[in-house]
Amino acid sequence: MTESAKQHLPEYDNPPVNEVVCGILFKSLDQLLAPYLGLLWERFKGDYPTCQEVPPIIPIIESFEERRADQKPEFAEIPPRPRVWFVHSNGNGVIQVQRDRFLHNWRKLKQVDKYPRFEQVFGMFSSHLGTFRAFLEEHKLGTVEPLQYELTYINHVYQEEGWRTNAEVGRIFADFVWRAKEGRFLPPPEGINWRSTFVLPNRAGRVHMVVRNGESREDGRPLYVFELTARGFIGNNSLDNMSEWFALAHEWIVCGFTDLTDEKTQRDVWMRTR
């Protein structure tokens, strides 16, 4: 995206962003066995001193073609793909590695944590992916052949920031208003879990939108989790168009967030400046 195009994107001084994830799914590196993950950690350990093992992520590939009934998924005859986290010393950054993907998270742990903006988050992801690729080359473990990119924004919209009960969900998300008409049989919903999907231009992937109830890890305060995830790809199986795809995904997520939320809340709570 050009600098002039970026200047037309909506901008907020106090966005409700709680977590951002940049990721890449690639052809499985079957030689990337568990012992190598310890060696890889040494490359990041100075800034990411904590290592955790977590359950693997099952691949989901965006497709615009119908799957044949006789088409079955392929499984390599290797141990289940491990996934590890390398956690930054401040807790906000997380590098995730497994045999078929590489991700970097920025996450908000305290109310004082300030979202560093997309350019910085994507820059960290790109830099760490470069370190990972150099490690693979040095140890002759294969190369990254991308299958799909992924960008996720998780927003927390707290109670009393434009809404109080689920009956007022339309004050934040006008497209999903609850009709509180007189004589209605059903009471306001106890819980909300709405999902929608939007196709990116030129079938470069999809944006998946989810709105659901949640609560703060800090104090249990009710909130809406508003998640926007873009998945897709541009071009062939090289990394040449990675920046282009992430710029497109970021544009759709930021503009989609603005399109789906209330203008008054944008102005008064999230302090929209553009």
What is the mean pLDDT of the segment spanning 93-116?
95
- pLDDT for residue 111: 86
Q: Which two tokens stand for residue 6?
A: 């970026």
Rounded to a whole number of angstroms, the CA Rg of the chain reads: 20
Q: Which two tokens stand for residue 53?
A: 């093992």
Does the predicted model carry a pTM greater than 0.85?
A: yes
> How far is CA 64 from its chain centroid?
21
CA angle, residues 204, 239, 28, in degrees to nearest 5: 90
- pLDDT for residue 73: 46
- pLDDT for residue 80: 65
Among the ranges given (78-82, 100-104, 111-115, 158-162), the one the predictor scored with the smallest mean pLDDT = 78-82
Among the ranges given (62-66, 82-86, 211-215), the one the predictor scored with the smallest mean pLDDT = 62-66
> How far is CA 78 from its chain centroid?
28
Confidence of residue 4 (pLDDT cuts 50, 70, 90): very low
Percent of the chain with pLDDT over 70: 92
Partners of 53 in beta bridges: 84
Tens-digit pLDDT profile for residues 231-261: 999 988 789 999 999 999 999 999 999 999 9
